[in-house]
Amino acid sequence: MIETIDFEALRAIGLGEAMRRQLEHGVADPSARPMRVVEVQRDHLQLHDGHGEQRARCSPALLRDLADGDEALVVGDWVLARPDPQAGCWITCRLLPHNRITRRTTPGRASDDGSRSRRQVLVSNVDTALLVMGLDHDFQLRRLERYLALVRLSGVAAVLVLSKADTVTPELAARRLAEAAEVLPQRMPALALDLRQSTAAAALAPWLQPGRTLVLLGSSGAGKSTLANTLANTLSQASLAGGKLAGQATGAVRADDSRGRHTTTVRTLLPLPGGACMIDTPGLRALRLDVADADDLAGAFDDVARLASRCRFRDCRHGQEPGCAVRDAVSGPRLRNFQKLLREAGRDARSVQERRAELALWKARTRAGSARARAKREGGG
Ligand SMILES: Nc1nc2c(ncn2[C@@H]2O[C@H](COP(=O)(O)OP(=O)(O)OP(=O)(O)O)[C@@H](O)[C@H]2O)c(=O)[nH]1
Ligand SMILES: [Mg+2]
Ligand SMILES: [Zn+2]
């Protein structure tokens, strides 16, 4: 099986060392081939094998397995799939992702008390997240902190891309970069770019090595799809082989507040001509973090984490407590945002407990029900 795997082709859709090792060690099913999930639709998935895309469905056994762990296949996953003339492909196995970016969602009519929040994996197996934020009304440090926490939680490296640099003066762009640097973890790169120009591709070249997977994250209208298209176009002109252009739809933002119109509606993995690949995502309407406590926020709030060890009380919430080292050193808006994210986490933790309580109650009821049925049977028989 291993001799027949086209590792070179798989590299163009982001096969890195960790996945390669998994493939070399444990492919049990000789008729299955490794592929990557590039899109998830309601009734099927699109897979890529490094040469082209195929329609696929998940085998019932794998669906059951995933559902047992409250999971589903997501864009970026590596899978083994068996070709089938009728169904396109049957996915029989998912390789263990080496990272995943997750958030919490409150589906349906859920109220904002978090009682129905669920974990949702957005993408998996990513090397770099490009956090895209516009230099128009989209520029907002508190939202940036939220996105930073999202990616730091998953262990994915991030780069801040401030888009629409052409619409502001170089002085303003520089000031915004300096403001952003105040909330970025140390050594995290940040760039201000016009995403429609090939210069954007040149500036991002260090993260676009062959075999690398990037994901575009940011609010609607920030310029994610614009960047995907620029990279596809610029790189295909640069590479002799040429390549399929991304052709992601883009949409103008509202003039008064720069808000986007949610043009992109699904997450899609696009192989780029240079050998890297890019996952374009829809702007998230609401981003709830999947955090449990302050430790989970330490990646994005390293200053708070560092200073907290000097507070007088170990469980200091950096509110009115005496001897707080954080309150004096961290700016008010940043600290309030940290506390807000923590409160959300607390609500989610409670809702997990509530769900456990519900489950216990339900199990007890089922047990009581079957005990009653047994008693009836035995009594009647
Ligand atoms: N002037 C200028 N316009 C840009 C830049 N980047 C994006 N735009 C414009 O901003 C608008 C929104 O861009 P999109 O790429 O559709 O934004 P998106 O982040 O993909 O938005 P969703 O798909 O809705 O999440 C489009 O009209 C783009 O042409 C830039 O760097 N400079
Ligand atoms: Mg888009
Ligand atoms: Zn404190």
| Number of domains observed in the structure of the chain | 3
Q: pLDDT tens-digit profile of 122-173?
A: 999 999 999 999 999 999 999 999 999 999 999 999 999 999 999 999 999 9
51 & 160 share domain: no
CA distances for 80 relative to 124, 188, 267, angstroms: 16, 35, 20
Mutate to test the pocket of ligand 1, among 133, 162, 250, 287 (most ligand atoms within 8 A of CB): 250
Q: Which residues contact 69 (CB under 8 A, 6 or more apart)?
A: none
Residue 73 located in a structural domain: yes
Indicate if ligand 1 lies below 6 Å from the C-beta of 14: no
Task: Based on the fold, state whether residues 165 and 258 are members of the same structural domain.
Answer: yes
Q: How far is CA 354 from CA 105, 107, 116, 359, 363, in A?
A: 16, 17, 10, 9, 14
Residue 66 lies in a domain: yes
Look at residue 371 and tell me if it is in a domain: no
Q: State how far the Cα of 353 lies from the Cα of 223, in Å rounded to an integer.
A: 39
Could you write out the three-class secondary structure of 80-108? Answer: EEEEECCCEEEEEEECCCCCEEEEEECCC
pLDDT band at 349 (very low <50, low <70, confident <90, very high): low
* Whether residue 236 is found in the same domain as residue 325: no
Q: Does residue 378 fall inside a structural domain? A: no
Burial of residue 52 (number of CB atoms within 10 Å: 0-12, 13-18, 19+): exposed
SS3 135: coil
Distance CA 179, CA 173 (A): 10
The last residue of a domain, from among 53, 77, 94? 94
CATH assignment of the domain containing 196: 3.40.50.300
Same domain, 253 and 113: yes
Distances (CA, A) of 105 to 119, 131, 285, 286, 348: 6, 20, 11, 8, 10
| Residue 252 C-alpha from the chain's centroid | 24
CB of 54 closer than 6 angstroms to any ligand 1 atom:
no
How far does residue 186's CA lie from ligand 3's centre (Å)? Answer: 22
Domain that holds residue 69: 2-94
Q: Dump pLDDT digits (tens) for 166-219.
A: 999 999 999 999 999 999 998 899 999 999 999 999 999 999 999 999 999 999
**Reduced to 3 states, what is the DSSP secondary structure of residue 33?**
strand
Atom of ligand 1 at shortest range from CA of 249: 16
Higher pLDDT, 308 or 375: 308
At residue 239 the predicted structure's pLDDT band, cuts being 50, 70 and 90, is low
**Which residue is closest in CA terms to ligand 1's atom 23?**
264
Query: Looking at the domain assignment, is residue 372 inside a domain?
Result: no
- CATH number, domain with residue 68: 2.40.50.140
What is the predicted pLDDT for the residue at 304? Answer: 94
Q: Does 238 lie in the same domain as 148? A: yes
Phi/psi at 163 (nearest 5 deg)? -90, 170
- 134 C-beta closer than 6 A to ligand 1: no
Q: How far does the centroid of ligand 1 lie from the alpha carbon of residue 177, in Å? A: 19
Give the type of residue at 375.
Answer: A
Q: Do 11 and 85 belong to one domain?
A: yes
Helix%, strand%, coil% for the chain, nearest 5:
40, 20, 40
pTM: 0.87
Helix (H, G, I), strand (E, B) or coil at 131: strand
Residues 6+ apart with CB under 8 A from 188: 158, 159, 160
- Considering only residues 70 and 224, tell me which one the structure prediction assigns the higher pLDDT: 224
* Ligand 1 atom nearest residue 264's Cα: 23
Helix (H, G, I), strand (E, B) or coil at 167: helix
Bigger pLDDT: 122 vs 3 = 122
Asked if residue 295 is part of any domain, the answer here is yes
Instruction: Say if residue 362's pLDDT is above 70.
Output: no
275 shares a domain with 158: yes
CA of 314 to the centre of ligand 3 (A): 8
Is the shortest distance between the CB of 267 and ligand 1 below 6 Å?
Answer: no
Pocket test for ligand 1, best of 198, 226, 278 (most atoms within 8 A of CB): 226
